Structure 1
């Protein structure tokens, strides 16, 4: 295989990431938390999900053609820079109003995802990637770093991964990633995620952690897969309640914690947990088929701003492998992908061969 021509960030990276996460959780279940490894039912359910996702990807790959992709010209470079700066300023204001840095205080962290943050984070994420995709300039990498830093102060690893990961993929498709830059970027992402996760864990006053940053990564994977293991016997028992909470008020992750573990805690439950709890194996099948089809279709539209949009959606789908698709803000990113599909609808054709 010619590695120079191989596209490392095609939608099948989701399957690779799922398998890596499963392996990490399996190892973690031995070393850090459990007397017994993950049950075979968990492993088979996840492998089944990977198969369904792959079927969706393959169908679009070989049955759908895109004749051309429309360029979007109404977003000028100046406007994009202004919007990026507004997002950074809003997050700075958010930290001021919270009264401190949530990364170092678990109480502040629990209140850090305010309405200001819900506007600032997606605004920054979308505009910085479109800015890079349409008007790449090395100086804009400083904005990427600044954004990762200031949003990382909220104490959530996913924000840092979302910003750095999507920017990295955007630069990859712009052919701006040299081997040296790529290694540095990946190292920064890995170290940043582990550092934020470790610092945030140490700020929880009610817990005494003895794990080092690397061990904590394996522990989190094992714990999250354990939550999914406990969800499987409860499949289809909430009848869409988690889904309704995602698109209304309330905290789906806290509800899952109360429903599954019977105490108030905000839980990550894997990409598969929320839909399985609501709709069982049928719901999981529909979700994974949809994601495979959707991601491959957006992948075919990755030109101009489509590069940035695909990078954002792919990155956050990877994040969902641990956290679960319970954030309406991230579903908004999928909505942007849907708009991209609608704009190019007349250029999408069925391959009759």
Structure 2
């Protein structure tokens, strides 16, 4: 495996170096370096609140140490369900208790028996390799962004109706900007940890990465990937001591505001609501519909499931129906629509209440081990990979973890974590 990794990173490093030495990228980086210097030495920086702004937050040890603990998934899942204007069925309540219990055991109790003591044997990754992989992922993303908008003849943000003409095979590579951002942000964090750049420089580079993500993802009219980029930058920055706790809290409020705002104005544009409707109605209606879907899936799944793994397998490219289309077929006999099944929807319909418990147990264990490694090592790479899988778990509360690229991110994380566990046990 190390031979394959070395060959792959060698090729990617060569590609990254060639692009970065080209005239276009030399010019871009020169301009960015100039802007960064102006930012770092700006007179107006002194008017920005200091780290001690809202000092009461910093004295809250729970927020300071556990704000992005895996259990935040259960908190947000419960909050999302509470947004609904209806209540879950009695059977679904039992399923949720079982699923939440499995996640709690996996994320909080099981990790106590692994990776205790010295962490010197943790697998290390070269900063250059990580940066080059992230750089190439962003390049691929930008190329497919322009191909996508050319294929529909416009910008979906300005013409919402053409968003539904976007082809998944073209837009999926655009979303590679998310892991690309994660890896490059991690590389900048490494530079900050090694004192090669200052905190102000690291903050500027994080902000620039976020601006790049917003510029491309917002123009496509997608909210979820935009929120993913936002969350990843905040989590990496927080655990890397680049972003303050008060900025996390304010950033979370801004993120929620952005979700509400984009959803509201897109709904107005599509004439699904009127201007007199509450701005949070779009969130409430989504939560209400999603809960209704989950009630139906729980009824179909029962104790041991209905589809027995076929829904998860339908995530593989080339399947007749995607997982969300399969949900539409199951609950409404309509395969031409996509329906989000929530984080446990696929687990329930595939393997019932038993599947909800084991699936959430496994997911909780992955996040729990990732959190433990990240906290004990403070390693830039493990901060980045934890932020990536936690982000997609949070977003999966509504959408489910069903996209093939997201499943690949989790598979890579699981492989790396298990490799570390195996090395520790030996």
Q: Same fold (TM over 0.5)?
A: yes
TM-score (norm 2): 0.73
Structure 2 partner of 1:233: 299
Pairing 1:276-315 to 2, within 5 Å after superposition: 276-302=348-374, 303-315=379-391
Return the alpha-carbon distance in structure 2 between the equivalents of residues 187 and 179 of structure 1: 13
> Is 2:318 aligned against 1:318?
no
Q: Are 1:94 and 1:114, in contact at CA under 8 Å, matched by a contact in 2?
A: no
Structure 1 partner of 2:66: 7
Return the alpha-carbon distance in structure 2 between the equivalents of residues 195 and 245 of structure 1: 33
* TM-aligned CA distance change 1:243 to 1:86, over 3 Å: closer
Quote the RMSD (CA, aligned, Å): 2.5
1:254 to 310, 325, 330: 325
1:292 Cα deviation from its structure 2 partner = 1.0
1:227 Cα deviation from its structure 2 partner = 0.6
- Per mean C-alpha deviation after superposition, the further-off stretch among 285-294 and 240-249 is 240-249
Q: Are 1:160 and 1:193, in contact at CA under 8 Å, matched by a contact in 2?
A: no
Q: Are 1:101 and 1:153, in contact at CA under 8 Å, matched by a contact in 2?
A: yes
Structure 2 partner of 1:121: 175
Pairing 1:138-157 to 2, within 5 Å after superposition: 138-140=203-205, 141-157=207-223
1:58 to 108, 111, 118: 108
Return the alpha-carbon distance in structure 2 between the equivalents of residues 5 and 347 of structure 1: 31
Gaps of 5+ in 2: 1-59, 190-201
Structure 1 partner of 2:147: 93
* TM-aligned CA distance change 1:3 to 1:283, over 3 Å: closer
Return the alpha-carbon distance in structure 2 between the equivalents of residues 233 and 183 of structure 1: 38
> Is 2:81 aligned against 1:22?
yes
Pairing 1:166-245 to 2, within 5 Å after superposition: 166-204=232-270, 207-208=272-273, 211-235=277-301, 236-245=305-314
Secondary structure of 2:385's aligned partner: helix
Q: Are 1:198 and 1:216, in contact at CA under 8 Å, matched by a contact in 2?
A: yes
Return the alpha-carbon distance in structure 2 between the equivalents of residues 148 and 116 of structure 1: 18
1:322 Cα deviation from its structure 2 partner = 0.7
* TM-aligned CA distance change 1:60 to 1:115, over 3 Å: same
> Is 2:398 aligned against 1:331?
no
* TM-aligned CA distance change 1:55 to 1:76, over 3 Å: closer
* TM-aligned CA distance change 1:78 to 1:55, over 3 Å: closer
Q: Are 1:105 and 1:200, in contact at CA under 8 Å, matched by a contact in 2?
A: no
* TM-aligned CA distance change 1:182 to 1:289, over 3 Å: closer
* TM-aligned CA distance change 1:333 to 1:220, over 3 Å: same
Greater length-normalized contact order (CA 8 Å, ≥ 6 residues apart) = 1
1:308 Cα deviation from its structure 2 partner = 0.9
TM-score (norm 1): 0.86
Return the alpha-carbon distance in structure 1 between the equivalents of residues 133 and 75 of structure 2: 37
Q: Which has the larger radius of gyration?
A: 2
Q: Are 1:71 and 1:304, in contact at CA under 8 Å, matched by a contact in 2?
A: no
Structure 1 partner of 2:347: 275
